[in-house]
Each structure stands twice: as structure tokens, then as C-alpha cells.
Chains A and B, each alone.
Chain A
């Protein structure tokens, strides 16, 4: 059911000697420095965009490691103190008979971030090489990644809400563990990575080969 995307060379803005303003979407002739309407700096392709993507991506991956190894939530009750990591907590929930919630947590905290990492890496890798796949689906993928990024903080929200609600001194006490900070950072870095990605480059592969960056 693959939709037919044009593989043949298309005329891009750059090929037409135009540059689009990324802020107000007005089109200007190539070479103009600033947007005549909103004054934003114009660039046909964001310079160093791939480097920034990769840099944020790496930062996100690095932050994601302690987010999983360190405890996410420290629960202290009268009798005991419990530290649970993301996966450990999900497994515990699953064992205690709540597979749905365990699945949601696993999906939100492990599945989606990992998918995001993979997607961004794939996109970044595909644009630096020719023929990395159809530009249409990749563009759609990019949008999904960007869209979903803002919801990736759901774990952090849960921890924040719990930590602020469950504060009964000695009886029960929930404090965020170091993993929550790392996880938040990882999400932020991933979002920045996704934002740094210049989606226009997806279509460069279809440009006539007479000019390169």
C-alpha cells in the first residue's frame, strides 16, 4: 500500500533561486540576508544543522543511560524505602497485576524514546547519503517525531506530581530519583535534536545533481 511518491527530480526552492523564511514562510530571492517581512535571518539550508542534530542526539543518548540505570522514584514508607528504576517499576507493576499501566509506562519511557532516537538517527543518516528512502515517508516520520516529542515528558510529569503530592513526612514520602532529571534532560535533548533537523534536506536527494551544498 505504498503511496507513490515522485522519485524523479523536482524543482526545489533552492534550485529556483529562492529561499523561504522559516518564521513567516514568505519566499525571497536567494542571497538575501534577512526576511523583508519579519526580519528573520534567511538561509536556504540551516548551516551545521546535521552537526547540531547529531550533537543533541548524542547528548540525549548519554542522558538516557543514567535515566534507566538510576532510580526514578524513591518511595519511603514507614516500613521501608524503595527505589525503583523505570524498567524495574514497570516490571513490578506487571508482576503485581497491572499489565496495562506497566505497558503504558514501558511504552512512554522506553519504547517512544528509543524509537525517537532511532528515527532521528535514521533521518540524519539518510539525508547525508543519497537514496536513503522515499522523502515522503521520511518527512512524515519527522513530523511524527517532532509531534510526539512534547509528550515524552509524561514520565517526568508523573514523578513530579507524585513527589509533590505524596509528602507525608515519615509515613510516606516520594522523592524523584536522579533518573528523573536524566530522563528529562534526555527528552529535552532529543527534542532539540529533532528541532535542529532541517527537514528541507529530505528533499535534496531529488534535486538535480548539478549543485551540492
Chain B
């Protein structure tokens, strides 16, 4: 093999990198590029991660549960976890990039799950597909907000809907049902949200919505009422069964109407009360309840029974609202003990407070000012019979300072005063007991007996005869008056005066005989002394001239009387009396007699020595007879006086007959009074004489 190549080392030329590289390297290169590109693209396409917290994550699975907006998937749950304190569920959702900007602060998220209600079945698709998170946001992108709080229920206003959102407060007897329709003339125009209790549990409230364009129908004059259930009325028009629809019959519903035009359009967040029926709702409009409703809470220390929902709330005696709800509460932290207190929430119609500015704020201001001046809420008896209570708002003097707690949740709290409740049951019991204890039976027996007796008496012949007897009595009286004896009284008086005249004549005679016996000078002197003494005595006997004067008065007045006969009698009487009394002898008689006797004693003593004893004896005998005559006269005086009194009484009776008011009568009465006085003076004199006959002699 000559052509064999010599065995020389062959140095092969070094090939370039590209020549040495195998084409196969393109495959891993391509794979790398593709996978990198895919990775980068998926990373770049990835939307932001947001975090939504829910109360609970029913059916949410990471990687599966979708976030939907208008039923289009815009994100997927990536992670489900808990918040730090495990009280909420944190759901991380990977959003689509395009919509991320719209998930701003006003975005709302809720979990859609199948729900069967009386209004129908919703979310049925989620039965098969599993729950999903639905989102709603507006059409303005305001930048991503990474953390959201999910709602536990779907909002009333869904995406793409607009309407009026307001708040309904359940009035007494109204039951709000979540999801129930709001009807206007039978057309469903809105929906009620789930009702919630206020924090103190007294009032149920719920969000409600009326969708556009019907939201224009709601104004401040709109009234809502409950249409759930049915009403049955039986009246003159017959029986009426009324319910709006089967759905509302079962599920409840609320209807509204604007009865009076002119209200201002309602704004979002307005407050409305749901009345129990249409009648109440319409009536409320005309009860001057147009103003907003102010809710107040009062926490009464005592827990009395008897206060009920609907009980009136009185401000200074004027009904301004009613009790909306009652709750007993025990709150050891707040009150420091475990007593049950009565939390009363009241609805105050601000329009009834008489404020010019009818707003809740103004009403609160007003009440706050009043509370500072002592306004307190107080329980008081409303009805004694039923034991019902009412709430009074009134000024308590000296109340401990307190203020209206306006920050309280949910309603302002008004301070309270101790209740003023009469223990009705006890009082009523007492009353009944007392009525029980009344001796009604005895009383009735007595009354029956009395009536029996009265009947008997009335029917008796004696009683029947009384009128006749009376008539006879009158006749007798008339007879007595007209009797001769009575008629003769003046005559007797005249006779008495005549006797008095005779007496005075006798006295004069005595005096004369005494005078004739003054033969002896000493006797004369004695008599002079006696005269002087008599004069002294005259001054002491004052009653006699007064008597005289009075008698003169009587005479003067009696003269004025037109009763001629009487006047004549009287004047003669008076004249006689005057004659008797005016006589100096009579006047000074008693003293003079005493002095005379004293002088006589002295004279006799001298005469015994002088020898004129016999003469004197005669004189003394005559003096003694004179004394007995005086005695006789004195004994007769009472009789005289009695007769005078009788005369005066007779005269009074007579004069009384001349009429009460005539001048004559008055004059006569005065005259008679004077006469009575005169008679009394004479009586006094007579008594004095009687008691002490010596006084007429001794002048004492």
C-alpha cells in the first residue's frame, strides 16, 4: 500500500465557536426564551392583590372563587386567611389589571350565595358553581385601594341602579322584613333592607331604597305604612278583606303615598316612620306631625309595670309624643348594680314642641336648655283604673343638676326623676274596703224605718190637723191681741199712774204735815239740814233724772206716732210719770226721809227735854204712816214695772205691725227701745228697793 499516508501527526485547524456549536442548542434556547417570555407576560399581566375582610367566608376557596363585577369575572381569590385576632376572614383577591383602578374607596364586596326567600330564589347559579364574591363600584377610577371590608349582605342598590336611600323606623306594631318590597299603588318601586335593632334594642330600623325614577315620589309629606298581613273589617258597608298581594301577605311589605303635595323632596338618609296601617299613616299627616321625629331615651331606675308602648309622653301636660319601645336592662358596668332598669325610648314630634325651627337639632337644643333648668322625665300614673303609666317631662324644682346626654347611642338620654305613682292597687283596695265596711244595711234599715214612720206620721190625723190647728192658733193669737185685757193695758197703766199720783199726793201731804209740825226752830233747822242732805242725795240718785229724760224721749217719739189712741195713752202716762218724777219731793224723797228721821231723832231728843212730846208723837205717827205708805209704794213698784214692760212689749208688737221699713216704724222702735230702757231703769230701781228697802230711807 504505497499510497498510504505517512503516519504524521495532523493538527486539525481549530474551528470557530459557531462552527463548533451544534444547531440543537437552539432548542433549549427557544424553550428558555418561551418560558421566560410566558413568565414575564403572566407576571406583567397580573393585576394587583387586594384584601377583603369578611365576617365569614362561606364557600370561598382560594384559587377558585371568583370576583365578579356585573357577572363578569374580574378576579380570583388567591388566599383565604384570618385577621390577626382571628375575628374576621381575610380574602386576598387577584384583580384583573384593567379594572384595578376602579376598585377605589367606594367599592363594595359581598358574597353571593343561594338564598331562598319569600320573594323568590336568588343566587341559584351559585348552587352549582359555588359562591362568588360580587363587587360593585362606580364608573370613576380613583385609584386602587388595597384593603376593603366586605359587606355581609348584598347592598340594596345594585350596580347600575340608582335611587333614593333612606331609613325606615318601625312604628308601634310594625314589623319590618328584610327584602320586602316597597309598593306604590301596587307597583314595586323599592326594597327594604335587613332590619336592625338600635344598639339599645328598642327600635327596629332598616335601610330602604326607592329606585329611580320613582324616587321623585318620596317627599317630606310621604307616609309609609305596613301592608303585611291582611285587614278584615266588618262595617256598615259589609265585610272587607284587604291585602295588597300574596307576597306581602306572607313576607310583609311597605307601601307609601304622598297625600299632601308641597313637601320638599326627600334626600338620601332621610328618616321615615312606618305606620301600622294606611289610616294611621294618613291621619299622622294631619296631626301636625309634619316635623321630624326626635327619639329620646330615658332610663328609669324603677321598673314599674304599667308603662306600655304607645303610652303618651307629656311635656308640661301637653302630649308631644309617645313611648316607642320598652326594655328592661341590667348593666353592671354602667350602673354599678344588677338592678333591672327600664329603658324607654320615646318618639317626640318636634312640631309639637312649638318651636319655630322644626328640626331635630333645634328640638335637642331646646330640651337641653330645659334639662339644665330642671326638666326631667318621670313616670306618672295615667289611669287610676287600669294602672297605666305615662311619661311626664316636667320641671322638678331642686332637681340634682344633670344634662341631656346627646352623645348617647342611639338616642339622646334625658335624665329622670323619681316616679310619682300612687299605689293604685292599694288605694283601690282601700276604697273598696271602706265601701265594704259602710253600714249600708243598717242605714237602709234605718232609712226604711224612718220612711215608714214618716209615712205613718204624714198620714196620721194629727198631722193632717196641723194646718187647721195653726189656723186656730193664729186666730187665738189674734183673739188674745184683740182681747179686752190686752186692750185694757193702757188703761191699767193709766190707773197705775193715777195711783202714783195719789202716792205722790200722799207724800206731799206727809211732807206738808211734816212742814206743819215744824213749830220748833230746831226742827226747822233740822229740816233745813235735811233739805241740804236731800239735795246731796238728789245728786247721787242719777238714775232717776236719766229715767226721766228717757221717758221724755219716749214721750217725744211716741208723740210722733200716728197712733192717736196709743199716743194719748202714752202721753198721759208719760205726763203722769214726769209729774211724779219731776217732783222734787220724790226726787229727794229717800235721802230726805233718812235725814228727816235722823233729824227727827235729834228733834225728839230735844223735844223730850222741851215738853212738846205729844205733838211730836203725833208727828212721828204720821211720819211712820208716811213710811208705810212709801213701803207700800215700793212694793207696788215691781208690779208697775212689769206692767210697763208689758206695755212696752205690746207697743213693740203694735209698732212692728206698721211695717219694717217705714220711718214711723223706725221711730217707734227707737221709742220703744227707749221705753224698754226706761222700764229697765225702773226695774233696777225696784230691784234695789226690794233688795234693800232701807236704801230708800238711808240713801245707800
Contacts and interface: CB of A to CB of B under 8 A. Distances in A.
Contacts of B38: 66
Nearest to B35: A62
Interface in A52-98: 52, 55-59, 62-63, 65-66, 78-83
Nearest to A76: B129
Interface stretch (B23-31, B157-165, B166-174, B180-188): B23-31
B24 A55 contact: yes
A128 interface: no
A169 interface: no
B133 to A, nearest CB: 16
A180 interface: no
A interface majority secondary structure: helix
Contact of B28 (A62, A65, A78): A62
A189 interface: yes
A79 B127 CA distance: 7
A48 B28 CA distance: 16
Given A55-B27, A62-B31, A48 B20 contact: yes
B508 to A, nearest CB: 162
A202 to B, nearest CB: 20
Nearest to B12: A213
B64 A48 contact: no
B598 interface: no
A58 to B, nearest CB: 4
Given A58-B31, A62-B35, A189-B27, 7 more contacts: A51-B24, A56-B27, A58-B28, A59-B28, A81-B64, A83-B63, A189-B28
Contacts of A78: 128
Q: What's the interface size class on B, roughly?
A: 10 to 19
Nearest to A62: B31
B42 to A, nearest CB: 10
Contacts of A109: none
A56 B24 contact: yes
B130 A55 contact: no
Give the residue among B30, B31, B35 with the most A Cβ atoms within 10 A: B31
Interface string A11-46: 000000000000000000000000000000000000
A196 interface: yes
Contacts, number: 53
Contact of A52 (B22, B35, B128): B22
A59 B31 contact: yes
B21 interface: yes
B130 A62 contact: no
Given A48-B20, A48-B22, A83-B63, A59 B27 contact: yes
Contacts of B21: 48, 51
B32 interface: yes
Nearest to A57: B28
A188 to B, nearest CB: 10
A149 B581 CA distance: 184
A58 B30 CA distance: 11
Contacts of B61: 80
Nearest to A31: B5
Contacts of B35: 62-63, 65-66
B130 A63 contact: no
Contacts of A79: 128-130
Interface string B576-603: 0000000000000000000000000000
A184 to B, nearest CB: 13
Contacts of A58: 28, 31-32
Contacts of B30: 59
Nearest to A77: B128
Most chain B CB within a 10 A radius of its CB, from A55, A63, A79? A55
A55 B28 contact: yes
- Secondary structure at the B interface, as helix, strand, loop or mixed, is helix
A83 B28 CA distance: 28
B130 to A, nearest CB: 6
Nearest to B26: A55
Pairs A-B, 10 closest by C-beta atoms: A58-B28, A59-B28, A51-B22, A48-B22, A55-B24, A52-B24, A62-B31, A55-B25, A59-B31, A59-B27
B94 to A, nearest CB: 15
A198 to B, nearest CB: 13
Interface in B27-72: 27-28, 30-32, 35, 38, 61, 63-64
A83 B35 CA distance: 20
B77 to A, nearest CB: 13
A82 B64 CA distance: 8
Contacts of B28: 55-59, 62, 189
Contact of B25 (A51, A62, A63, A189): A51
B224 to A, nearest CB: 42
Contacts of B129: 79-80
B367 to A, nearest CB: 59
Contacts of B27: 55-56, 59, 189
Contacts of A81: 64
A64 to B, nearest CB: 10
Interface in B112-141: 128-130
A67 to B, nearest CB: 11
B244 to A, nearest CB: 39
B41 to A, nearest CB: 13
Nearest to B36: A62
A107 to B, nearest CB: 25
Nearest to A81: B64
B567 to A, nearest CB: 142
Interface string B374-414: 00000000000000000000000000000000000000000
A57 B28 CA distance: 8
A66 B64 CA distance: 20
A42 B22 CA distance: 18
Contacts of B22: 48, 51-52, 55
B22 to A, nearest CB: 4
Nearest to A66: B35
B32 A62 contact: yes
Interface in A158-213: 185, 189, 196
12 contacts: A51-B24, A52-B24, A55-B25, A57-B28, A62-B28, A63-B31, A66-B38, A80-B61, A80-B129, A189-B27, A189-B28, A189-B31
Contacts of B31: 58-59, 62-63, 185, 189
Nearest to A52: B24
Interface string B86-129: 00000000000000000000000000000000000000000011
Among B26, B27, B61, find the residue whose CB has the most chain A CB atoms closer than 10 A. B27
A170 to B, nearest CB: 8
Given A79-B130, A80-B130, A196 B32 contact: no
Nearest to B30: A59
Contacts of B20: 48, 51
Contacts of A48: 20-22, 24
Contacts of A82: 64
B76 to A, nearest CB: 11
B24 A80 contact: no
A196 B22 CA distance: 12
Contacts of A59: 27-28, 30-31
Nearest to A70: B38
Contacts of B130: 79-80
Nearest to A78: B128
A81 B61 CA distance: 11
